[in-house]
Chains A and B, each alone.
Chain A
Amino acid sequence: MNIINILIKNGRVIDPSQDIDGTYEVFIEGGKIQGLYPQGKGPKAEKSIDASGCIVIPGLVDMHVHLRDPGFEYKETIQTGTMAAVRGGFTSVCCMPNTNPVNDNKTVTEFILRKTYAEGSCYVYPIGTITKGQKGEELAEMGMMKKAGCVAFSDDGKPVTDSLVMRRALEYSRIFDVPVISHCEDLRLSDGGVINEGFISTNLGLKGIPKAAEEVMVARDIALCELTGGRLHIAHVSTEGSVRLIRDAKARGINVTAETCPHYFSLAEDAVRNYNTNAKVNPPLRTERDIEAIKKGLKDNTIDVIATDHAPHHVDDKSNKEFDAASFGISGLETAFSLGLKLVEKGVFGLKELIIKMSLTPSRILKISKGTLAVNADGDITIINIGREFTVDAGKFLSKGKNTPFDGWRLKGAVVKTIARGRVYEWE
């Protein structure tokens, strides 16, 4: 139902973009933020929301999501994926282009946006491919895709192996001032591996992917970024070495940003024990040492963003298959904020920093006007009871992908309301 105006009362409003943290009333009209008011001073509204005991924050922004639509609708659709997003507190998501057909031209981009308009629960910002057909050979039509609505470019899932093509991509993308998002993996080094290389891979007899498979590509892409002056964004950082390389690049003033995902700071490689396909993900879960390095990287802003790499899969592609044959990926939208909140509890950073990494910073990298409660911004708001505990129940995910290694975990931070595209989604 569309509501003309809403007043959110009694909540702790945190908006890092305006350095606000306090009890305010938020007034939304016509789908836009009309202002923050001291308690009791907000205007009368058609709908009033009591946010007592909750935080009221800018809607979360996830810059790394696989919506699977078009082509793999049995895994996820724009409808189910955006429902999962709002359930997880996200009001904007970027969808990766490895659909079928791949999003390597404006027609597919337009299809995604039209379908989002018709059946999406939140905003969707498509990411186009770097190369035609995601083949790593020729540049895709970035300019036309940008005009159609793409906000970044990536061959995610498939690294651009040819260094010259990557160089051209970083150069050419400068016309549009858009980030090129790199899935850093040297396929020759990962060589068909399925989990992190080390004691656990030996113990399970599974082929390992060494950390170096990620790190050599991070190093290459940083060098190419320095060479070209393009905007490089490193996807799903999973190793200590990658954090070190990015930290060094930033210290030298190179235009690089980076993201990690909740599973890389929440789980180590031993989560795959008993050949648990729900913990099979690429890059693979690493070691405690890497987890500590990633936390440090988040704390000192070497890692700018927490994204989910939401990768929903059908059970036939996951737990109904033997480990080698199962697909990589974790359904992450509906657990991300709570896993991030654990870092706040552990003192890695504050609540404000978590919100920045999950809304304001990705918005700035993508140059979209999200992640803020400033006057006239879109009225995208997430209301979370950060004290409330719940048990993760994959069976109740709104995503079609029930593939999570966090099933049964007790987590804090229940999303109780998400307001996106002028609609209010509420849960008990």
Chain B
Amino acid sequence: MFKTKDLLGIKDLTADEINHILDTASGFKDVLARDIKKVPALRGKTVVNLFFEPSTRTRTSFELAAKRLSTDVVNFSVTTSSITKGETLRDTALSIQALGADFVVVRHGTAGVPHFLSGVLKASVINAGDGTNEHPTQALLDFFTIRSHKGKIEGLNVVIVGDIAHSRVAKSNIYGLIKLGANVRLICPPTLMPAEINKRNVEVFNSIEQGIKDADVVMALRIQMERQGKGFFPSLEEYFDLYGLTGERLRLAKDDAIVMHPGPINRGVEIASDVADGRQSVVLEQVTNGLAVRMAVLYLLSGVKE
């Protein structure tokens, strides 16, 4: 199915490949609903979570997905590694491979690190977030969630609101949603819009009231606290005032619109608390679906190698 041993980004996948991953994930979601949630599919394989940035949910999700497939999982975190002793990324990755890793799940603050490692390593490299580039498994679980609610993705009005420029989640979603035939709308202040994103098949709005109209899916992005005071917007209060996803604004979307968020949520910054907990919110479902999607990715990539 996959042409390469790695999952580096949604950019590299075709619509058929994305749908195949989602179909495979459906099967694993059934497994996760069972009393005994484990299958022996990848017994004897080793997964290394190589995380250079703090992460709780993505790392835990990958760890659990790997364990559900009966692999051995090792978490390699940067603070306890030789990186702090001046070792290069390349050397760290090569030593991990020498320990016998079959999969390296990597998160790094620099775009292109998974691509770099993919050239260095024989192991399968899975991108768990690289800088402001991509976060493909998050986008895949978003597609899975949308599909399970709407039955399809083609023709849906999908709105992404927030810090698009710095969001790898947004980027992976944009690339995939366009391939899957959604109408993609981006809402954010011009200071947070990626350069020349309008050259892709997206609609760009600076006003949430205009952009959210008739939306089927509303995806709010986390505003990273460290962006405050960097001149992208004057204050978190003004950001919420202009772009916060409130109940009032959500009413401009379709009645059955779903609300998504990749987490962790800043209540009262990008999303009102009652919306996050409201009937339209599928935020926790996204987390559950993440497990199934990551199991599917590990499973399908192991097929490439054999």
Return the CB mask of A198-211 against B: 1 if under 8 Å, else 0: 11011111111000
Chain B residues within an 8 Å CB radius of A208:
195
Chain A residues within an 8 Å CB radius of B168:
205
- In contact, A203 and B11 (Cβ under 8 angstroms): yes
* CB under 8 Å from chain A, chain B span 108-162: 108, 110-113, 115-116, 130-134
CB < 8 Å A-B pair total: 60
**Distance A205 CA – B196 CA, assembled complex (angstroms):** 12
Determine whether A275 belongs to the interface, using a CB cutoff of 8 Å to chain B.
Answer: yes
Determine whether A426 belongs to the interface, using a CB cutoff of 8 Å to chain B.
Answer: no
**Distance A206 CA – B195 CA, assembled complex (angstroms):** 11
- In contact, B130 and A205 (Cβ under 8 angstroms): yes
Interface residues on A, range: 20 to 34
Determine whether A2 belongs to the interface, using a CB cutoff of 8 Å to chain B.
Answer: no
**Distance A199 CA – B196 CA, assembled complex (angstroms):** 5
- In contact, A202 and B112 (Cβ under 8 angstroms): no
CB-based nearest A residue for B109: A324
Interface of chain B, main secondary structure: mixed
Chain A residues within an 8 Å CB radius of B171:
202, 205
Determine whether B89 belongs to the interface, using a CB cutoff of 8 Å to chain A.
Answer: yes
- In contact, A206 and B112 (Cβ under 8 angstroms): yes
Determine whether A323 belongs to the interface, using a CB cutoff of 8 Å to chain B.
Answer: yes
Interface residues on B, range: 20 to 34
B203: min CB distance to chain A, Å:
16
Chain A residues within an 8 Å CB radius of B132:
205-207
A138: min CB distance to chain B, Å:
31
Determine whether B228 belongs to the interface, using a CB cutoff of 8 Å to chain A.
Answer: no
- In contact, B195 and A198 (Cβ under 8 angstroms): yes
A205-B133 contact given A275-B112, A322-B112, A324-B110, CB 8 Å threshold: yes
Determine whether A197 belongs to the interface, using a CB cutoff of 8 Å to chain B.
Answer: yes
Return the CB mask of A310-339 against B: 1 if under 8 Å, else 0: 000000100011111100000000000000
Chain A residues within an 8 Å CB radius of B242:
none
**Distance A339 CA – B134 CA, assembled complex (angstroms):** 36
* CB under 8 Å from chain B, chain A span 194-253: 197-199, 201-208
A324-B111 contact given A205-B130, A205-B133, A205-B168, CB 8 Å threshold: yes
Chain A residues within an 8 Å CB radius of B131:
205-206, 324
Return the CB mask of B190-212 against A: 1 if under 8 Å, else 0: 00001111010000000000000
CB-based nearest B residue for A203: B11
Determine whether B88 belongs to the interface, using a CB cutoff of 8 Å to chain A.
Answer: yes
Return the CB mask of B88-110 against A: 1 if under 8 Å, else 0: 11100000000000000000101
**Distance A199 CA – B281 CA, assembled complex (angstroms):** 33
- In contact, B195 and A201 (Cβ under 8 angstroms): yes
- In contact, A321 and B90 (Cβ under 8 angstroms): yes
B224: min CB distance to chain A, Å:
15
A205-B195 contact given A321-B89, A321-B90, CB 8 Å threshold: no
Determine whether A18 belongs to the interface, using a CB cutoff of 8 Å to chain B.
Answer: no
Return the CB mask of A240-270 against B: 1 if under 8 Å, else 0: 0000000000000000000000000000000
- In contact, A320 and B196 (Cβ under 8 angstroms): no
A279: min CB distance to chain B, Å:
13
- In contact, A323 and B195 (Cβ under 8 angstroms): no
Determine whether A369 belongs to the interface, using a CB cutoff of 8 Å to chain B.
Answer: no
Chain B residues within an 8 Å CB radius of A274:
115
Chain B residues within an 8 Å CB radius of A201:
195
Chain A residues within an 8 Å CB radius of B112:
204-206, 275, 322-324
- In contact, B196 and A202 (Cβ under 8 angstroms): yes
Partner of A323, one of B11, B88, B116, B197: B116
Return the CB mask of A134-178 against B: 1 if under 8 Å, else 0: 000000000000000000000000000000000000000000000
Chain A residues within an 8 Å CB radius of B116:
275, 321-323
* CB under 8 Å from chain B, chain A span 320-367: 320-325
* CB under 8 Å from chain B, chain A span 10-69: none
Apart from the given pairs A322-B108, A323-B110, 5 other A-B contacts in the complex at a CB distance below 8 Å: A203-B11, A205-B111, A275-B116, A321-B89, A324-B112
Please provide the 5 A-B residue pairs with the shortest distance between their CB atoms, ordered closest to farther.
Answer: A205-B133, A205-B111, A275-B112, A199-B196, A202-B194
